[in-house]
Structure 1
Amino acid sequence: MNIVLLGPPGSGKGTQAKMIADKYGVVHISTGDILRENVRNGTPLGVEAKKFMEAGKLVPDSLLIDIIKDRLAKDDVKGGWMLDGYPRTMPQAEAMDKILPNLGQKIDVVLNIDVPDAELVKRVTGRRMCKCGTTYHVQFNPPKVAGKCDACGADLYQRADDTEETVKERLQAYHAQTQPLIDYYDKRGIVATVVGVGDIKEIFGKVAVALDKI
């Protein structure tokens, strides 16, 4: 089964992705991870990507699709893959449509984790971090002492991009880019939308119901 995973920032997509990979044996491919891996390993594609990243520019679509193509050609994905973070735009979706037939592959399902914006803002703005790596949420997972890490006692902080204004901007950008994608894939009848609100296991239960129909 080949899956494209969509979901706004704060939707819990990463958590669901891990559970999907474990249950269905598909390889979870995060665009950010394979980009960093290519850069770290000094591959020709990684060397090219590094030039853009060091200049503070976005890696162009033409290079990104080459990196995806290279990853999807590897033997470990023969039993199925789940793309997380790609495609994000219509040109990327169209590029995917060109490379997949050459690899003898196709997208079986576009899994869309849908969460209302108000819920997402609440989730993301409530996140608190500690330099030791422990994370909290003021409402869903608060520390024992407000503002202090349970693990090491240090002060907790809020990431600069977790403010309400920034989150709303990110959501606007996500909706503008992603809605056309959902419409594009929906015409093929391969979109499965799951509401990502509630208990993590309950949400995964809905995800499994959708995937078991494929």
Structure 2
Amino acid sequence: MRAVIIMGPPGSGKGTQAKLLADRLGLIHFDTGKYIEQVVHDKSKRNNKIIQEQRKLFDSGKLCTPSWVLKITKERASQLAKIGLSVVFSGSPRTFYEAFGYSTEENESKRGLNFKKQKGLMDVLKKYYGKENIFIFNIEIPDKESIKRNSQRLLCSVCGTQILDCKKLKILKPKGAEILRCPFCAGKLYRRTLDSPETIKTRLKEYKERTQPILLELKKRGYKIIKINGKPLPEKITKSIIKWLI
């Protein structure tokens, strides 16, 4: 078994690469962002106060409460490991706290976030997979590229495929009204609430302030961080990642 972690700023292709790796290497893709989005927008939980708070944070581009995210992520990771499945993460860990179970940020108490000390995701992965079987990749792209990609991106409401070049996908309804359809399943395409220019800038700021320090701490703990150029086409990026896993 092995655990693969794909890190990088918004729009770097974490989800795309994780999906490709899962398909080719038989890994389970755990997309933290999509999982959280499903939970916070679950209609059956719309009256849950905790979910309401998390949904407000999520839709504004801010990170959800770390203790809540860590709890649901660890539970899922443990379930997969206990039944002998390898996993690839595209969205976890996002904060120092989620990674290691404690925070070094002095101002977190003022932000009203719950940082109750507990085991972090890395502790869980190390326990079940072993440090030598944890592979960490950091996909790097410039801020301008991140904003451009996210602003153009649409998602399929049926199969979840990400579409970047939407101009080529326009078809006509019987009445002549122009709509966008997925080229793979013809499902309707939609834009995520997270992909507005203003929200993207907020997400980039959050990433730099709270996610990048994780990489520094991982290095201190002896984990190898493999840098990946995120500019080439997805297929080329996938090949550069796979060579480290075979």
Q: Return the TM-score normalized by structure 2.
A: 0.65
1:86 maps onto 2:92 in alignment = yes
Q: Quick one: which of 49, 64, 71 aligns to 1:51?
A: 49
1:24 is the counterpart of 2:29: no
Q: 1:64 and 1:93 mapped to 2: Cα distance?
A: 11
Amino acid at match of 2:88: M
Bigger drift between 155-164 and 86-95 goes to 155-164
Separation of aligned partners in 2, 1:150 and 1:134 = 18
Sequence identity, in percent?
Answer: 30
Instruction: For residue 123 of structure 1, report the CA deviation from its aligned partner.
Output: 1.8
* Distance apart, 1:5 and its partner CA: 1.6
Distance 1:115 1:68, change over 3 A: same
1-structure distance, mates of 2:27, 2:244: 15
CA gap of 1:51–1:31, structure 2 versus 1, over 3 A, is farther
Matching of residue 180 in structure 1 with residue 213 in structure 2: yes
Picking from 69, 72, 75, the partner of 1:70 is: 75
In structure 2, the gaps of 5 or more residues are: 58-63, 101-119, 181-189
Distance 2:141 2:22 in 1: 21
Deviation at 1:31, TM superposition (A): 2.2
More displaced stretch, 63-72 vs 121-130: 121-130
Shift of residue 194 of structure 1? 0.6
Give the total of aligned pairs. Answer: 200
TM-score (norm 1): 0.73
Alignment RMSD (CA, Å) = 3.6
Distance 2:196 2:39 in 1: 30
CA distance in 2, matches of 1:98, 1:134: 32
Describe the shift of the 1:60–1:186 C-alpha distance in structure 2 as closer, same or farther (beyond 3 A).
same
Match of 1:7 in 2: 8
What residue number does 2:186 align with?
none
| Equivalent AA in structure 2 for residue 81 of structure 1 | V
**Cα distance between partner residues in 2 of 1:83 and 1:90:** 16
Letter in 2 for 1:111: F
Tell me which amino acid in the other structure corresponds to 2:226: A
